[in-house]
Amino acid sequence: MKADTFARLVTLETLIDAEVGFWLQHHPASPDRFREAMVARVSDLMDEIDRLDEAASGRVYDALVDFLSDLPDDDAGMVEAALRFKRAVDRITDRARPDLDDASTWAVVLDEVLEELGAEYPACAGLGPEGDPRACMRARALARVAREAGERMVAAKRTDAGPMLRDDLDRLYFAVEHRALTAGEVDALIRAPQRIARRARPSNLGRVGAYVVGQLLTRRPKGPRLP
């Protein structure tokens, strides 16, 4: 599985977790409207997964349909439905075996999650009367997962940039979780760790170079061994 696909799966699972959390806390009066809003929120993400990996997309789509087709009315049932969806995503990931020990994998995850957070936060900026509590719950979930992805990236890479990245992501987490900053202020906090993540992402040029080197090595004629 490509890191880009894995990153979208992490983002999707994060958004579904937040949606379930919203349902558990607020118990929306209309299950149909709740379901429709959830589908609208993740539809673009599902399209991105489909473009990247049709096989993974089909399995995720089936898991999401199973989850949405018969949403329960009680808290325990909702939690169990969410767990079934999460385990289905785990099986998709386990089957595809992304390189979870590679810092660049987590750099892609971090970049994508931060991008999603940047798109989500303006709807709850300031946490005032105009703020959307559902969007705020999604933003908080994304901020938490961004911090976790950053930790995985630092643990794999083990570079001097680790403390800086941790500081940046902790500032962002506290801002989203507790400080009720403006959208512009949070956007500025997002850009700092995102720059680090994007520098660590695997480049297309690097992928092409690795492929070419591999092909050259496999085609290299075998000659007599040197004494």
Tens-place pLDDT, residues 126-140: 656 556 899 999 999
Element (H, E) at 62: helix 54-69
Residue 227: the pLDDT is 40
Residue 205 clears pLDDT 70, i.e. is over it: no
CA of 204: how far to CAs of 18, 183, 207, 212, in Å? 33, 32, 5, 12
Residue 176 clears pLDDT 60, i.e. is over it: yes
Residue 220: the pLDDT is 44
Residue 158 banded pLDDT, cuts 50, 70, 90:
low
Q: Tokens 């700092």 appear where?
A: 192
Q: 129, 130, 120, 111: which is closest to 176 by C-alpha?
A: 120
Question: What is the arithmetic mean of pLDDT over 185-201?
Answer: 95
How far is residue 200's CA from residue 104's CA, in Å, rounded to a whole number? Answer: 6
What amino acid occupies position 204?
N
Question: What is the arithmetic mean of pLDDT over 46-53?
Answer: 96
pTM: 0.85
Residue 208 banded pLDDT, cuts 50, 70, 90:
very low
Residue 184 banded pLDDT, cuts 50, 70, 90:
very high
- Contact between residue 69 and residue 28 where contact means Cβ atoms under 8 Å apart: no
Residue 129: the pLDDT is 55
Residue 223 banded pLDDT, cuts 50, 70, 90:
very low
Give the least confident one: 35-39, 194-198, 206-210: 206-210
Residue 70: the pLDDT is 80
What's the count of helices (H) and strands (E) in the chain, helices before strands? 9, 0
